[in-house]
């Protein structure tokens, strides 16, 4: 891609299959890949929207994997003396369930939304570093595959997702599972780190004219906070993972108590990463519902600056609470008091947000669409999870709850009821923007209610189980020791397992909904602005063109799109619609920008990312493979650095508008 | 909208784009990366500080450190920051010849430092401090090793820069590219000041 002379509207359609384009020789080793409509284009694309979809598809795949792992855990516990998994398999299952859900589903799914919508919401044509963006996606995918390949190579990691030392040493976990885990997380960590730098620079540097920080949509705000958390949290886990790798592969003694090591070192390093990580998981969903609630309440977000700043406050205070995960480890009274206080303090900005969401809905004209239902469910379920979280902040109470199912109940309420409901709200809300079709509201309601009921049935009883003392990670329970009456552990375990099946059916309905929406002829093309939305991403075509906006808009208001559609009477404050979405778009497209530079496709991101799992396998199996991988890294880095981000040639004609579907535009040679 | 097309700078190729903050994308990204690196070294330094006294039967830190030797190699590394500044200055004057000269000298000074580290590691190993001897050994070699790898990567970048400048194969703004590598180089030097002080100078 080089220069797009005049976008859309008047350009003749270049029909049929992809038109071969001879890319000019770039300065790199390879010829620049040309635009095409084949599947190969997805391997070399640097378009943030395509990468967003790729992140989404891959993350959803891992969601299924992690979900199956969860179901196996619940099947094991549905009856006394469970025989579904043996103890070793059970250890691997809960370790990989958590690892998959945290690192391979919620984080990359948030990255999917961030990738797709942040440039659109700030009025940019792409992210700041499109090739690094592609590299980040491939690192995540290859890292995830590498991590899961352990299942077929002698067993997966089995030390729990926080992999406490010294339990993670080769003495207690002799298989290669933990080696795959450490290297896999290093690789996905690179994805997070590069993604963080990329999105921070994008948000700070590439806003449309007039898009001040305090005019940015809340989702973009939350993404910004999350990227700063990632930027500073990822290197800490990197250090911890390196130390563990050195211990397991090179006989260092960092966590070997017999040599005088302090096992708390791992706990501190892990949770200094791990607690910001909790906010990394939840804040994007907070951003999503902060977009959705105002739209379906027909009111602006209540206290926009407060919501933005409380998000930032959570980001700051989130660094000072990590040791509340370690109250039972004997930190001493001063540390425990300090971290206990800080943990209670962080509930304040979170509570502020909840109040703001409720006040947004208060007195609004609510319409209970599926995205709205999921958003309201987030507010409710997250509040329950947040309240049980406050009980952990009370150190004496937490000492009682540590390593029981009560903890499991808490973090599933905030992660499933919070983060994942937010992501599902995002699916339903933005689907028509991304794919031009609206997911079925009918199936969506079933999807929603089954997930809500299933979730509460699954995780609600865990409060009871935990307070009765059922330990977390317990592999079997026996009838003899289950207790009697209301507190019979067997009964609540059964309820929880049945709930998890309902939950699975709910998720399955989402997949059915997607298939139905795209296969059924009855589903019409969605209107341009199906929800009467407020923010900039709706002020362009659905799906957006490769260059996002024909004209980069000038921003005069928070909720710019809304203000272009509606005018407020100065005296009565009543809103009257002055333009439809189509008219707003037509007005913008009347004077399209000329000479739009779009970044060019590249082979280097996928090649560089491919070298990393090779290094991982090399470290585990054979140093020769390691050397090959390292050589690949060096060579691809040189190739990359000598390739300009945009092809220097102007050999391309304007793009055909295509058929408006999700395809790449075809490019015709100038001659 | 005449000014709108310029509000979307991307990647190296177009240094001339105006950004929302005025700082170029590449430079902001490098600052962010270095901010992240602070936490990486923070974690490694904390680990060392926790473990420096735990020597088992191996040698103590003050038994094996050769302060005068390491002071000299530290001085060499710090001087390389000066030559790096001269390289950036030459690049901003579009003086390719002097840019390359100073970049090469910087790389040589860096290589001298790494050479000194290799010598030092060998000497320590002979005196009985292996990577697995004690927690002190593990954490010392990990911390200084990570720093050494950073210097080595810096040297590779400097030499690559020299090669690319002389063949005129740098995409984008040449002076800024030199400056970015300079930022990285100074960061690695500053980290060494911290490490040298905490590891070598403050007695256990």
| Closest chain B residue to the Cα of A235, Cα to Cα | B40
Residue B4 pLDDT class (50, 70, 90 cuts): very low
- Please give the interface size between A and B, counted as residue pairs whose CB atoms are below 8 Å apart: 173
Q: Longest Cα pair distance anywhere in chain A, in angstroms?
A: 84
Q: What is the ipTM of this complex?
A: 0.90
Put simply, whether B112 touches A (Cβ < 8 Å) is no
Per-residue pLDDT tens over the stretch A497-527 = 999 999 999 999 999 999 999 998 888 889 9
Contact by Cβ (8 Å): A47, A487? no
Residue of B3, B4, B9, B11 for testing the chain A interface, max A β-carbons within 10 Å: B11
SS3 B142: helix
> Angle at CA A480, nearest 5°, toward A476 and A482?
65
Comparing CA positions, the residue from A658, A671, A660 lying closest to residue A17 is A658
Nearest Cβ partner of A599 from B10, B37, B38? B10
CA distance B59 to chain A (A): 15
Give pLDDT, residue A639.
86
Contact by Cβ (8 Å): A624, A618? yes
Give pLDDT, residue A398.
92
Put simply, whether B29 touches A (Cβ < 8 Å) is yes
Put simply, whether B8 touches A (Cβ < 8 Å) is yes
Residue B3 pLDDT class (50, 70, 90 cuts): very low
Cβ of A645 within 8 Å of Cβ of B139? The answer is: no
Whether the bond into A166 is cis, omega within 30 of 0: yes
Contact by Cβ (8 Å): A95, A160? yes
Domains and their CATH numbers in chain B: 27-201 (1.20.120.80)
If contacts are CB pairs under 8 Å, which of residues 551-590 in chain A contact chain B? Answer: 551-554
Distance CA B56, CA A258 (A): 10
Which residue pairs from B58-62 have beta carbons closer than 8 angstroms and sit at least 24 positions apart in sequence? B58/B128, B58/B129, B58/B130, B58/B133, B58/B134, B58/B136, B58/B137, B59/B124, B59/B127, B59/B128, B59/B129, B59/B133, B60/B136, B60/B204, B61/B136, B61/B140, B61/B199, B61/B204, B62/B203, B62/B204
Put simply, whether A384 touches B (Cβ < 8 Å) is no
Distance CA A488, CA A461 (A): 11
Which residue pairs from B96-103 have beta carbons closer than 8 angstroms and sit at least 24 positions apart in sequence? B96/B165, B96/B166, B99/B165, B99/B178, B100/B162, B100/B165, B100/B166, B103/B158, B103/B161, B103/B162, B103/B165, B103/B178
Give pLDDT, residue A128.
92
If contacts are CB pairs under 8 Å, which of residues 144-163 in chain B contact chain A? Answer: 156, 160
Distance CA A151, CA A143 (A): 14
| Closest chain B residue to the Cα of A245, Cα to Cα | B142
Q: Which tokens hold the place of A620?
A: 């585990």
Comparing CA positions, the residue from A96, A67, A78, A71 lying closest to residue A476 is A78
Distances (CA, A) of A112 to A54, A136, A209, A228, A421: 8, 11, 25, 17, 15
Compute the 3-state secondary structure of chain B and give helix, strand, coil in percent, each to the nearest 5: 75, 0, 25
Give pLDDT, residue A41.
86
Residues of chain A with pLDDT under 50: 1-27, 649-671
Per-residue pLDDT tens over the stretch B5-62 = 333 334 333 434 578 888 999 999 999 999 999 999 999 999 999 998 888 888 888 8
Give the bridge partners for A575, in sequence order. A568
Give pLDDT, residue B17.
57
Put simply, whether A3 touches B (Cβ < 8 Å) is no
Give pLDDT, residue A599.
83
Global pTM value: 0.91
Put simply, whether A539 touches B (Cβ < 8 Å) is no
Give the bridge partners for A567, in sequence order. A576
Per-residue pLDDT tens over the stretch B40-52 = 999 999 999 999 8
Mean pLDDT of B167-172: 77
Domains and their CATH numbers in chain A: 1-46+600-671 (no CATH), 51-261 (1.20.210.10), 288-526 (1.20.210.10), 531-595 (no CATH)
Per-residue pLDDT tens over the stretch A564-622 = 999 888 888 788 889 999 999 998 888 888 778 788 888 899 999 999 999 999 999 98
Cβ of B171 within 8 Å of Cβ of A27? The answer is: yes
Give pLDDT, residue A23.
41
Q: Three-state secondary structure along A580-636?
A: CHHHHHHHHHCCCCCCEECCCCCCHHHHHHHHHHHHHHHHHHCHHHHHHHHHHHHHH
Put simply, whether B18 touches A (Cβ < 8 Å) is no
Comparing CA positions, the residue from A657, A531, A645 lying closest to residue A598 is A645
CA distance B53 to chain A (A): 10
Give pLDDT, residue B168.
78
Give pLDDT, residue B56.
81
């Amino acid at each position: 891609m080089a220069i797009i002379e005049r976008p859309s509207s008047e350009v003749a359609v270049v029909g049929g299959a992809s038109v071969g384009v001879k890319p000019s020789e770039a300065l790199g080793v390879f010829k620049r890949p040309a635009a095409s409509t084949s599947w190969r284009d997805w391997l070399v694309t640097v378009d943030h929207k395509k990468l967003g979809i790729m992140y989404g598809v891959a993350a959803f795949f891992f969601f299924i994997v992690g979900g199956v792992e969860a179901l196996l855990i619940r099947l094991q516990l549905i009856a006394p003396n469970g025989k579904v998994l043996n103890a070793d398999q059970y250890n691997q299952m809960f370790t990989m369930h958590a690892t998959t859900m945290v690192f391979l589903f919620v984080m990359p799914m948030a990255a999917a939304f961030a990738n797709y919508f942040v440039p659109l919401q700030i009025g940019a044509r792409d992210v700041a570093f499109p090739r690094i963006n592609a590299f980040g996606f491939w690192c995540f995918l290859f890292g995830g595959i590498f991590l899961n390949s352990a299942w077929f190579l002698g067993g997966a990691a089995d030390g729990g997702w926080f992999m406490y030392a010294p339990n993670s040493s080769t003495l207690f976990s002799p298989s290669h599972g933990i080696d795959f885990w450490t290297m896999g997380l290093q690789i996905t960590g690179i994805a997070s780190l590069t993604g963080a730098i990329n999105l921070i620079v994008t948000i700070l540097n590439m806003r449309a004219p007039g898009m001040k920080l305090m005019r940015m949509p809340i989702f973009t705000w939350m993404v910004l906070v999350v990227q700063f958390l990632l930027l500073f949290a990822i290197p800490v886990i990197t250090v911890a993972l390196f130390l563990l790798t050195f211990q397991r592969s090179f006989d260092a003694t960092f966590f070997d108590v017999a040599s005088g090591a302090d096992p708390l070192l791992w706990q501190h390093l892990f949770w200094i990463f791990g607690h910001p990580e909790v906010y990394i998981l939840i804040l994007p969903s907070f951003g999503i519902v902060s977009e959705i609630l105002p739209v379906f309440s027909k009111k602006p977000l209540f206290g926009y600056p407060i919501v933005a700043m409380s998000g930032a406050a959570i980001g700051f205070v989130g660094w000072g609470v990590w040791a509340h995960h370690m109250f039972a480890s004997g930190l001493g009274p001063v540390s425990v008091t300090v971290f206990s206080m800080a943990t209670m303090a962080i509930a304040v900005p979170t509570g502020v947000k909840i109040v703001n969401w409720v006040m947004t809905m208060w007195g609004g004209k609510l319409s209970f669409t599926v995205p709205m239902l999921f958003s309201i469910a987030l507010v409710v379920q997250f509040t329950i999870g947040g309240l049980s979280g406050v009980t952990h902040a009370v150190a004496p109470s937490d000492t009682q709850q540590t390593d029981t199912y009560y903890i499991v109940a808490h973090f599933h309420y905030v992660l499933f009821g919070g983060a994942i409901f937010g992501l599902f709200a995002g699916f339903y809300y933005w689907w028509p923007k991304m794919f031009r079709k609206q997911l079925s509201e009918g199936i969506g309601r079933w999807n929603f209610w089954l997930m809500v009921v299933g979730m509460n049935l699954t995780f609600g009883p865990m409060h009871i189980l935990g307070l009765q003392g059922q330990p977390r990670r317990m592999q079997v329970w026996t009838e003899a020791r289950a207790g009697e009456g209301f507190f019979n552990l067997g009964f609540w375990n059964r309820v929880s397992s049945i709930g998890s099946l309902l939950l699975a059916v709910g998720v399955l309905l989402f997949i059915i909904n997607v298939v139905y929406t795209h296969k059924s002829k009855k589903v019409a093309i969605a209107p341009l602005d199906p929800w009467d939305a407020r923010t900039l991403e709706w002020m362009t075509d659905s799906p957006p063109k490769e260059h996002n906006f024909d004209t980069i808009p000038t921003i005069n208001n928070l909720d710019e799109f809304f203000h272009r559609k509606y005018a407020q009477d100065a005296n009565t404050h009543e809103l009257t619609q002055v333009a439809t979405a189509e008219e707003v778009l037509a007005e913008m497209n009347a004077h399209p920008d000329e000479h739009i530079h779009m970044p060019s496709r590249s082979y280097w991101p996928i090649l560089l990312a491919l070298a990393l799992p090779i290094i991982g396998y090399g470290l585990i199996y054979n140093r020769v493979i390691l050397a090959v991988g390292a050589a690949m890294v060096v060579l691809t880095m040189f190739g990359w650095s000598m390739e300009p981000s945009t092809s220097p040639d102007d050999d391309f004609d304007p793009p055909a508008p295509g058929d408006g579907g999700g395809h790449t535009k075809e490019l015709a040679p100038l001659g | 909208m005449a000014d709108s097309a310029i509000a979307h700078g991307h990647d190296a190729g177009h240094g001339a784009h105006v950004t929302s903050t005025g700082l170029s994308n590449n430079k902001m990204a490098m600052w962010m990366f270095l901010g992240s690196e602070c936490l990486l070294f923070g974690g490694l330094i904390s680990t060392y500080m926790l473990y420096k006294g735990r020597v088992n039967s191996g040698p103590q830190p003050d038994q094996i450190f050769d302060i005068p030797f390491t002071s000299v190699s530290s001085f060499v590394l710090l001087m390389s920051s000066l030559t790096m500044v001269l390289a950036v200055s030459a690049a901003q004057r579009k003086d390719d010849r002097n840019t390359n000269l100073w970049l090469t000298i910087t790389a040589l000074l860096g290589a001298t430092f790494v050479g000194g580290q290799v010598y030092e590691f060998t000497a320590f190993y002979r005196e009985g401090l292996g990577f697995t001897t004690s927690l002190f050994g593990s954490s010392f070699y990990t911390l200084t090793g990570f720093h050494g790898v950073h210097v080595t990567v810096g040297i590779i970048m400097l030499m690559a820069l020299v090669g690319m400048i002389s063949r005129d194969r740098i995409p984008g703004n040449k002076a800024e590219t030199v400056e970015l590598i300079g930022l990285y180089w100074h960061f690695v030097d500053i980290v060494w000041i911290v490490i040298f002080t905490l590891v070598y100078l403050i007695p256990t």
